[in-house]
Amino acid sequence: MSDIQYVTKDTLELMKAELQKLKGVDRPAASRAIAEAREKGDLKENAEYDAAKEAQGLLEAKIAAFEGSMANIRVIDEASIDTSKVSILTNVTLTNLATKKQVTYKIVGEQEADLKAGKISVTSPIGKGILGKAVGETAEVQAPAGILKFKIDEITA
């Protein structure tokens, strides 16, 4: 994930809180687990020590990845969204031309994507396919099932 990620201010605050938890709560807990395992005797044959060290390594890798992704974040002001075409943070109502079903999605960054909540990533196949389209235009989306055609019905903030 070395590309720029666009998020709302709320999502950025959640990410900062998660990083703070990883550093302030989880990291000290991992250190304590290593210290407790070290006290239990010979480190060569101490599976608990090995597991604690491995858990600490995974935690440090997670922290580093989180910090790396946060370095590429750009915060978007929801008040400045252009609704003349599909862009990040717009709500888009689409009609699948094959099934005639209508759906509404909010286009969000990868960190915020949640299909159950109607939020799709700007980097998803549908997100990429409809990006930049205006009301009335048809978007062709390459999906695993083949090419899907969507008509853009409405764009709102």
114 and 102 in a common domain = yes
Question: 52: number of CA atoms within 13 Å, CB side?
Answer: 19
- Provide the residue type at 27 as one letter: R
For each of the chain's 157 residues, which pLDDT tens digit applies? 446 777 778 888 988 999 999 999 999 999 999 898 888 877 777 888 889 999 999 999 999 998 988 888 888 877 778 889 999 889 999 999 999 999 999 998 887 889 999 999 988 999 999 999 999 999 999 888 889 999 999 999 8
Which residue, 75, 97, 114, sits at the end of a domain? 75
**CATH number for the domain harbouring residue 121:** 3.10.50.30
Q: What pTM was estimated for this model as a whole?
A: 0.65
DSSP result, 95-131: EETTT--EEEEEEE-GGG-BGGGTEEETTSHHHHHHT
> Which stretches within the chain are classed as H helix?
9-21, 27-38, 47-71, 125-130
97 and 70 in a common domain = no
**Would you say 139 and 129 are in contact if contact means Cβ atoms under 8 Å apart?**
yes
96 and 65 in a common domain = no
Owning domain of residue 29: 5-75
107 and 48 in a common domain = no
**Hunting for tokens 């995974």 — which residue is that?**
58
142 and 107 in a common domain = yes
Measured at the alpha carbon of residue 8, what is the angle toward residues 109 and 117, in degrees to the nearest 5?
Answer: 60
69 and 135 in a common domain = no
What total number of domains does the chain contain?
2
